Amino acid sequence: MSYILAVLQAVVQAVAEIFPLSFSGLQAVQRDFAGDFSGTVSPLAGIIHIAVALGIVAAFFKMFRRETGEFFMSFADMARKQFSLKSMPPTRGFMGCTLISFLFFLVLLLPAGDYGNLYEFFRYFSYGRCLLDEGFAYLVMFGVMLACIKTADMRRRETRGMDVRFALIMGVLALVGVNMAGFSVVALLTCVAMLWGLADKLAVRYAFAIAAPAFLGRGIIELVQTPSAPAVGPAILAFVVAAAAAFFAARLFLWVVCKRHLQYFVWYDLAFGAVVSVVGIVQLFIR
């Protein structure tokens, strides 16, 4: 039975992390109704997060290989005194912006009093005794995706490039999306990038370029913090299944965005967010 549960968790977590379903939000709701407010990490969660990151890298391998090359070539150009911000090629600009956005995750290492650091601070509030914040996050996702869909025709007529302001905005959103239950970081970054004016495919790739290392880092932290190690067999199976599921889910998400099928998830986030918000409001009075 442990093998079956490992496979189910791998598939659900991988798909929910990529599509606007929010695995963290679903987990917070499940733990709330189970009365589990400890915030302890599932033994398999870290392994699956690492597998999801590797699945995304495999799905967009050419992009990650190109951007890795641009990263090292930037240092080589600096050494030859040939580096120029004005004549930077688009691929290097993409790399630079994603790097700026990802640097925001260093904020999680800042001390936060009794909570230890900001990562633990965010995690503490993800498993509180009220679901109102999770419901609010789902409703925010609904609003962002709805705005993205409503402006689709406008974006087809006019596209916009990336700059430092864009990278800073995306960095803040990534930091919030990864660490607060109810947000779907990939969908959030994709929709905001499209609202900014990026082309559909470029917006999706930018979101995954940030999400993959974020999931990798989160998985490593969860492995370090987990109180017990998972069984070897189920862990290996979950890793393989999660990586495969993330690969296909990432490619499918790109297709969904380009074919304008996000509206199906818009109504999911509205319905689920409304129900969770109502439950959260009730909990304010009974807990």
pLDDT digits (tens, 9 = 90+) for 60-119: 999 999 888 877 777 666 666 655 555 566 777 888 888 889 888 887 777 767 766 677
Confidence (pTM): 0.88
| CA torsion through residues 197, 202, 208, 214, sign | negative
- Strand, helix or coil for residue 117: strand
pLDDT digits (tens, 9 = 90+) for 212-268: 999 998 888 888 777 677 778 888 999 999 999 999 999 999 999 988 888 889 999
Are residues 101 and 167 in contact, defined by beta-carbon separation less than 8 angstroms? yes
- Across the chain, which distance is largest between two alpha carbons, in Å? 66
Query: Per-residue confidence at 199, pLDDT binned at 50, 70, 90?
Result: confident
pLDDT digits (tens, 9 = 90+) for 168-178: 999 999 988 88
Query: Per-residue confidence at 157, pLDDT binned at 50, 70, 90?
Result: very low
Q: For residue 175, what are its two tokens?
A: 């930091």
Examine the pLDDT at 156 and tell me if it is beyond 80: no
Rounded CA separation 137/181 (Å): 7
Are residues 169 and 127 in contact, defined by beta-carbon separation less than 8 angstroms? no
